[in-house]
Amino acid sequence: MTAASVTGADAPTEVPLKRRLKRAERARQLKALALVLPLLLYLLFTFAGPIAGMLWRSVDDREVRQILPQTVAALAGWDGKDLPNESAYAALASDILAARASGTMAIAAKRLNYALNGFRTILTSTARNLKAVPEPGTAKETLGKINPAWRERATWTTIKDASGPLTGFYLLAALDLVRNVDGAIVAAAPDQAIYRSVFARTFIISLSVTALCLILGFPVAYLLATLPPGRSNLLMIFVLLPFWTSLLVRTCAWIVLLQSKGVVNDSLHWLGIIDEPLRLIYNRFGVCVAMTHVLLPFMILPLYSSMKAISPAYMRAAASLGAPPVTAFLRIYLPQTLPGIGAGSLLVFILALGYYITPALVGGAADQMISYFIALYTTETANWGLASALGAVLLLATVLLALLYGKLVQGQQVTGGMKN
Amino acid sequence: MLKRKIGKIGKIALGFAAALTAGAALTTAGQARDLTVVSWGGAYQDAQKKVYFEPFKKAAGLPMNDESWDGGIGVLRAKVQGGAATWDLVQVESDELAVGCEEGLFEKMDYSRIGGEAAYIPPAVNPCGVGAILYDFVLGYDKDKLKTAPNGWADFFDTKKIPGKRGLRQGPKTTLEIALMADGVAPKDVYKVLATDEGIDRAFKKLDTIKSDIVWWKAGAQPPQLLASDEVAMTSVYNGRIDTANKNEKKNFGMVWDGALFTLDSWVILKGSPNKDAAYKFLDFAGKPENQSKLSENIAYGTSNKDAAARLQPAVLKDLPTAPDNIKNAVEINVGFWLENIDRLTERFNKWAAK
């Protein structure tokens, strides 16, 4: 298309120019897109895709549908008030026989056992003792004889509730909630309601570690930013060396330092300060100390870069105008470091939320964070639905907090471009 | 076991790898390939190579290769259902054996081809597999540091008699059994009591008595380290770890076998294996007492043949889980119970821990 071809009666002459500009702009945008496309695709396939797939598992509930199809169909019209009718029993009997033949019973049993403890035994014992399809009209009696659980309404509501294809079961469980026999959402049994307190614990530990990092890191960053280059470089190496050291090595070093016959306790004992060793590890204190040490560089580096940019002339000007040092610091220096404080705190906090190795090695049984449970359900008990539901809740809470944080500090540069 | 150290990351990576290779459906299925035996790697597989794999190759004149894996029922599912199983014989843990057997991932074990059921100790006989090794959770302590040697789990819970902290594996599995035995439940009745709500309450009540003195360990490598650094006076520990520490690090650790909890790892033949005959030949070879006793000489695991223990030197035998005196009062960890209750009791355990 040339400029000559678009000469309308009232078309001002700059239109073609505008168009040309637009076209040039678009070409440039395409070029930019082509440059980031490989990374974008890579992230999509290796990061966004798997995360979406994992999140999907928290609502996906197709096992029982696939393994007990006739039962699920027969229960579709059941109101859940009394026991289901004979046809549901007959459907279950033939499903169980088919599942036993194909060896898939264990998968359905596992899923139903999450909702009703003991369901594994109910299904396996029934499968073992059911010899053939019961005579028409006797299925209810036969199954009830094999296992009295089939005479309970709860057994059947559990199957109906697990009929899928989607479920809220895992997400509710991650928030300590269950559906009762009548389908109402109620609090989980007291001895099984742990996840809310684990989430709270995770956030409290992360917040304490962030606060400790800020208190310890701020003076260090200030020193780094204000010392002459030669000496600040030397100090910088002290910050970076641990940063480059393996997390596992640093965590184990803390075990050596803090254990009851460790360096710290022995020194205190030798100085006569204590008679009995202090408990510094395998508790909350140890977790906070080790995690703070591991995450400190993530606080110091953003602080340092924001402080580097502050001209010392400002403080001199404040002093010459008569501000006492504290006032000058609070009103001139501190506000200018806010972006660094924001970036460092957000970085440390979000990294701390997902910590696994450090609390696992230096924490007690009451200091395990949510990551421990996600790992436990992923690898040990293979309850992937619950693992991904816990992950989903953590992800959501983190995103909400980051947004809230962005609102509070009201700075685009602070939230890494996250707008509110 | 040794594999615990590698643990989770390896498991996940292997799971992905297995899923990928299964998805790729390599066209090796149906083609003749050599017998492939898969075990746990590390020092254990080195010992197996020495006493089983290499001698078998020579004796039977059959080619075979061995690989190692990290456990996980998902890996076996992918292998079998992907239709391109590149493995024939796999050594699995007891819960993988139980679940895989229910799901039909393994061939039914034909005992007539491996010396008959009567040749093996009863816990080793399973319709889907045959026991390979037996190992224990025992009470471990440092003989150099304790004035009074503990006699069993009751002493473990008695901080007056033997002061100091105690190490236990984090989580309900093994912990609840130990608490009940300390409370006077006979080893053979542990799971009967644990099957009731009162029994579970009783176990937690017993744990309450030493709650502030427990250090929870997570990986098998930790308990010997806790003992060595004097962090705990006693701990539950895998028997093989104590043996290794005594042999390689010149420690003087002791074990109490009374009320130990044992479990087995078993050989299974993956469903649809094209090398079933060779697999049975290997199992027959590895099931013979004269071969099994050589394994125990190399690594402190008990083996599954009834007559293997009798061929060992008394000095070797006394530290093995299968020595008659050591297995007398031991309890087999009940796989069925834990498959059914692990999630619920894990929640309850953590509730209790946070109190």
Residue B188 has pLDDT above 50, yes or no: yes
Task: Kindly tell me if the per-residue pLDDT of A122 is higher than 50.
Answer: yes
Write down the pLDDT at residue A10: 53
- Residue-wise pLDDT for A176-218, tens only, equals 999 998 889 999 999 889 999 999 999 999 999 999 999 999 9
The mean pLDDT of B39-53, rounded to a whole number, is: 93
Average pLDDT over residues A410-415: 48
pLDDT of residue B33: 87
B344 closest CB neighbour out of A192, A360, A375: A192
User: How many angstroms separate the CA of residue A398 from the nearest CA in chain B?
Assistant: 23
Structure-block tokens of residue B293: 């006793």
Provide the sign of the torsion angle of the four alpha carbons B347, B353, B354, B355, taken in this order.
Answer: positive
Q: What average pLDDT does range B6-14 have in this prediction?
A: 46
Cβ–Cβ of B102/A368 closer than 8 Å? no
Among A174, A110, A63, residue whose Cα is nearest residue B341: A110
- How far is Cα A279 from Cα A268, in angstroms, rounded to an integer? 13
- Chain A residues within 8 A (CB-CB) of chain B? 102-107, 109-110, 113-114, 117-118, 120-121, 124, 190-194, 197-198, 201, 259-262, 282, 360-361, 364-366, 368, 373, 375-383, 386
Residue A283: which pLDDT band, with cuts at 50, 70 and 90? Answer: very high
Nearest-CA neighbor of B91 among B314, B283, B348, B300? B283
CA distance A118 to chain B (A): 6
Q: What is the pLDDT of residue B31?
A: 53
Q: How many CB pairs under 8 A join A and B?
A: 91
**Predicted confidence (pLDDT) per residue in B160-187, tens digit:** 999 999 999 999 999 999 999 999 999 9
Residue B287: phi and psi, rounded to 5, are: -95, -10
Full 3-state SS string of chain B:
CCHHHHHHHHHHHHHHHHHHHHHHCCCCCCCCCCEEEEECCHHHHHHHHHHHHHHHHHHHCCCEEEEECCCCHHHHHHHHHCCCCCCCEEEEEHHHHHHHHHCCCECCCCHHHCCCHHHECHHHEECCEEEEEEEEEEEEEECCCCCCCCCCHHHHCCCCCCCCCEEEECCCCCHHHHHHHHCCCCHHHHHHHHCCHHHHHHHHHHHHCCHHHEEEECCCCHHHHHHHCCCCCEEEEEHHHHHHHHHHCCCCEEEEEEEEEEEEEEEEEECCCCCHHHHHHHHHHHCCHHHHHHHHHHCCCEECECCCHHHCCHHHHCCCCCCHHHHCCCEECCHHHHHHHHHHHHHHHHHHHHC
pLDDT at residue B328 in the model: 93
Interface test with B, best of A57, A257, A260, A370 (most B CBs within 10 A): A260
Mean pLDDT, rounded, for A79-99: 93
Per-residue pLDDT tens digits for A137-191: 899 999 999 999 999 999 999 999 999 899 999 999 999 999 998 889 999 999 8
pLDDT at position B25: 42
Residues of B with CB under 8 A from a CB of A: 7-8, 11-12, 72-74, 99, 102-105, 165, 170-171, 214-216, 218, 229-231, 339-344, 346-355
Q: What angle do CA B107, B91, B301 make, to 5 degrees?
A: 135
- Specify the DSSP class assigned to residue A183: S
Question: For residues B125 and B111, is the Cβ–Cβ distance under 8 A?
Answer: yes
Q: Do A103 and B339 touch (CB under 8 A)?
A: no
Scanning every residue of chain A, which has its alpha carbon at the shortest distance from the alpha carbon of B232? Answer: A260
Residue-level pLDDT at B10 = 45
Dihedral sign, Cα of residue A309, residue A311, residue A312, residue A314: negative
In degrees, rounded to 5, the angle at the alpha carbon of residue A325 between the alpha carbons of residues A323 and A327 is: 60
Cα three-residue angle B260-B261-B264, rounded to 5 degrees: 130
If you measure CA to CA, which chain B residue comes closest to A265?
A: B231
Cα separation, B314 vs A208, in Å, equals: 56
pLDDT band at B30 (very low <50, low <70, confident <90, very high): very low
Summarize pLDDT for A300-316 with one digit per residue, the tens.
999 999 999 999 899 99
Contact A260 B230 (CB under 8 A): yes
Q: Tell me the mean pLDDT in the region B243-247.
A: 92
Position A49 pLDDT exceeds 60: yes
CA–CA gap between residue A184 and residue A192 (Å, rounded): 18
Contact between chains at B12 and A282 (C-beta distance less than 8 A): no
Confidence band for B27, pLDDT divided at 50, 70 and 90: very low
Residue B12 has pLDDT above 60, yes or no: no
Task: Label the pairing between strands B234-238 and B166-169.
Answer: parallel
- The answer, yes or no, to whether residue A8 has pLDDT greater than 70, is no
- Residues B232-251 have a mean pLDDT of 94
pLDDT tens, position by position, A208-257: 999 999 999 999 999 999 999 899 999 999 999 989 999 999 999 999 99
Cis peptide bond upstream of A165, omega within 30: yes
Q: Which residue of B has its CA nearest to A284?
A: B354
The whole-angstrom distance between A276's CA and the closest CA on chain B is: 12
pLDDT of residue B176: 98
> A194 and B72 in contact by Cβ < 8 A?
no
Q: What is the pTM of this model?
A: 0.86
Is the pLDDT reported for residue A3 higher than 70?
no
Judged against a pLDDT cut of 70, whether residue A411 lies above it is answered with no
| Residue B196 reports pLDDT greater than 60 | yes
How many Å is the Cα radius of gyration of chain A?
Answer: 31
What was the pLDDT predicted at B111? Answer: 97
Model pLDDT, residue A379: 79
Per-residue pLDDT tens over the stretch B292-301: 999 999 999 9
Amino acid of residue B161: K
Cα distances (angstroms) measured from residue B320 to each of A14, B135, B199, B261, B299: 93, 8, 31, 13, 9
Tell me the mean pLDDT in the region B7-24: 46
DSSP SS3 for A177: strand
Residue A100: per-residue pLDDT: 87
The Cα–Cα gap between A290 and A352 comes to 11
